[in-house]
Chain A
Amino acid sequence: QVQLAQSGAEVKKPEASVKVSCKASGYSFTGNYLHWVRQAPGQGLEWMGWIIPHSGGTNYAQRFQGRVTMTRDTSISTAYMELTGLTFDDTAVYYCAREDSITWKNFDYWGQGTPVTVSS
């Protein structure tokens, strides 16, 4: 069965960086776009961007451009999201989500979420 297993919780100081991983199993990793979405405490879901595992191509939401980098390692079916210049506002649960490669433009499987806390 399709699974997206994310790395564990992180605590970071302001100005630091965080790198979250998302290991895919149960399907061909290079066959589907992989997206990153976050949810700050008490807030809604926010789309951050996508990566094409096959080529490494990316597209980031405008508000994260310059601070986010999405990469992948196809040999271990794992995608990564690195966010730099952390502020308290980056405290959130970060999710990876797979885009359905048949119907496209919707997210059919999600990771369990990685809590990231920015604290001094």
Chain B
Amino acid sequence: QSALTQPRSVSGSPGQTVTISCTGTSSDVGGHNHVSWYQHHPGKGPKLMIFDVTKRPSGVPDRFSGSKSGNTASLTISGLQADDEADYYCCSFADSHAYVFGTGTKVSVL
């Protein structure tokens, strides 16, 4: 199972909107509606931000939203804030009851 493809980095000014893509195959992203997104600050455990493509856990601001089209899922952060600066990883359920993570995207707030 190859890692899902994400852009290495994205950046934006406070208040702007950024979108991170996550491209897989029909065996993972395209074939299952179980894509999740995680925010990861170095030295800490990752934090769940989106699950099942579009759903937000309790406590996650509605500035974070998810979507999917074909083999590509996306995470959109609107109203960018300084504490959004982190690494973001997508993860998809895949065939054979396995999971595959994305390559990771560093979000920088200018």
Contact = CB atoms under 8 A, between A and B. Distances in A.
A106 B46 contact: no
A108 B48 contact: yes
Given A61-B1, A100-B51, A107 B100 contact: no
A112 B38 CA distance: 15
B36 A37 contact: no
A36 to B, nearest CB: 11
B51 A45 contact: no
A107 B1 contact: no
A58 to B, nearest CB: 11
B91 interface: yes
Contacts of A26: none
Contacts of B36: 105-107
Majority SS of interface residues in chain A? strand
A8 to B, nearest CB: 15
Contact of B55 (A35, A37, A61, A103): A103
Interface in A68-120: 95, 97, 100, 103-113
Contacts, number: 68
Interface residues on A, range: 20 to 34
Given A105-B36, A107-B46, A112-B45, A47 B51 contact: no
Interface of B: 1, 3, 34, 36, 38, 40, 43-48, 51-52, 55, 57, 89, 91, 93, 96-104
20 contacts: A35-B99, A44-B89, A44-B104, A45-B89, A46-B3, A47-B101, A61-B1, A62-B1, A62-B98, A95-B46, A103-B51, A105-B34, A106-B48, A107-B36, A107-B38, A107-B91, A108-B48, A108-B57, A110-B45, A112-B44
Interface of A: 4, 35, 37, 44-47, 59, 61-62, 95, 97, 100, 103-113
